[in-house]
Amino acid sequence: MNRLREFFSERIIPILLQYKLVFLLTGLFLFVLGTYWYVGNKRLLRFQAQENERLAVEMATTPSWERKVETDQIVKFGVVTELRLQMEDNYSFASDIEDRYYAVEKYVKPLAFFRSRMDTFKPDFIVSLGDMINGEDQDLSRGSDALHFVRAHLEKVGAPILWVIGNRELRAITRVEFQEVTDAPKAPYVVDRDDYRFIVLDSNFNEDGEAYDANVSHYSRGYMPQEQLVWLEEELKTSRHVFVFMHHGAFVNSVRASGKDDQKEKSIKNSRELRGLFAKYNVSAVFTGQLKAHVYENTDGVEYYALEDLRDYSYHPGAFYSVTVDGGQANVDLHYIDRDNEELVSEPYKEDAYIITPADNKD
């Protein structure tokens, strides 16, 4: 203990006395630095609190559809439309539904190409945009068999199917039969998947809002009744990225049929009202069939895709699509059959699409 006392009195204390000014200045500097840090940090905390309060107010007052969630999630789906499968005159040559159609190459071949591509693409789900059976000039009893056949082939992909009802299905079956055969919910309906919302609509109505049901023997442009528009507006109020599937086109004016410059295809009758909702609520993309056209439009931030027929004799024979949604944006690829080499051709959707620009928005 004495040695320790002597060490401090003879060594440490003289050093402290000798450098006391240095220690005082150092202490003063550390005091000033600490005070500056405390005041600055307090201001920073106050600023952060104010900023958090501002953001909270902004979140509370800004509609959810105007602040879409930031996402890096990826969703993939395949799309088919307009196979228009029809019972042949000799359909009863076999008792099994599969055998009845197997020899009909124009139906089986594009379905086989679709399945082969989906085997490697591995979609999260499949979308059928309608008119997968014809229904025209057919015994109504055959409609369910035809749709059963389509479902059986699509299910071989091994992914859930979102079914959109087309006007040609309604020439052979009722809406209730369509739901029973496909095991689909009654449209309209919503499927939410993480940061994405997928909406299936039913556009098979007349201008009085009356539903077509197994009696559409004529060409119909379709109509979206007010009741469904009200429902749709509520479902669009979301921060999820929204993608819409419907059978009839959603373009403002007539568009040319793919590869036929002298022909025009009509969109749904109240397309302007429908498009107004899509724009107001920041819908990402709308996918439609029925127009027999390969048409793209981007208006008010909404992408519109008209898709071609899965039939073997369309402009792009056996056309179908693979869609990858990444970060809220749809990347669409077209696939079709090269008749010369009997192989699948793939290309970006927009590469050969008829692009509608604002200058084109006139009949």
Contacts of 173 (CB under 8 A, 6+ apart): 135, 140, 143, 144, 147, 181, 214
Cα 254 from Cα 249, distance rounded (Å)? 9
Residues 306 and 173 in one domain: yes
Residues 37 and 89 in one domain: no
Which two three-digit tokens encode residue 124? 């999260």
- Last-in-domain residue among 16, 45, 61: 61
Residues 73 and 47 in one domain: no
CA distance readout (Å), 285 to 61, 189, 232: 26, 17, 15
What is the spatial order of strands in the sheet that 74-80 belongs to?
Answer: 161-163, 125-128, 74-80, 320-326, 329-338, 343-348
Cα 178 from Cα 16, distance rounded (Å)? 95
Instruction: Give the total number of structural domains in the chain.
Output: 2
Cα 295 from Cα 325, distance rounded (Å)? 19
User: In this predicted structure, what is the pLDDT of residue 340?
Assistant: 80
Going by C-alpha positions, the residue among 332, 318, 240 that lies closest to residue 287 is 332
190 C-beta neighbours (distance < 10 Å), count: 15
DSSP one-letter string for 328-359: TEEEEEEEEEETTTTEEEEEEGGGS-EEE-GG
Residues 142 and 223 in one domain: yes
Instruction: Report yes or no: 232 and 281 within 8 Å, Cβ to Cβ.
Output: no
DSSP for residue 173: S
pLDDT of 102-111, one tens digit each?
A: 447 778 889 9
Q: What are phi and psi of 224, to 5 degrees?
A: -105, 110
Instruction: Report yes or no: 296 and 353 within 8 Å, Cβ to Cβ.
Output: yes
Residues 210 and 91 in one domain: yes
Residues 99 and 222 in one domain: yes
pLDDT of 67-85, one tens digit each?
A: 899 999 999 999 999 998 8
User: What is residue 263's three-state secondary structure?
Assistant: strand
Residues 12 and 161 in one domain: no
Residues 8 and 94 in one domain: no
Q: Which domain holds residue 98?
A: 69-360
User: In this predicted structure, what is the pLDDT of residue 182?
Assistant: 95
Residues 86 and 52 in one domain: no
What is the spatial order of strands in the sheet that 302-306 belongs to?
Answer: 189-193, 196-200, 241-246, 285-288, 302-306, 295-299, 354-356
Residues 56 and 197 in one domain: no
Cα 338 from Cα 233, distance rounded (Å)? 42
Which two three-digit tokens encode residue 213? 């049901």
The domain spanning residue 190 has which CATH number? 3.60.21.10
Which two three-digit tokens encode residue 199? 């909406």
Amino acid at 142: R
- Last-in-domain residue among 39, 61, 83: 61
Which two three-digit tokens encode residue 219? 């060409």
Residues 82 and 186 in one domain: yes
Intervals of the chain under pLDDT 50: 89-90, 92-95, 101-103
Q: Which helix (H) or strand (E) holds 243?
A: strand 241-246
Q: What are phi and psi of 138, to 5 degrees?
A: -125, 150
User: In this predicted structure, what is the pLDDT of residue 319?
Assistant: 94
Residues 154 and 287 in one domain: yes
- Last-in-domain residue among 37, 61, 85: 61
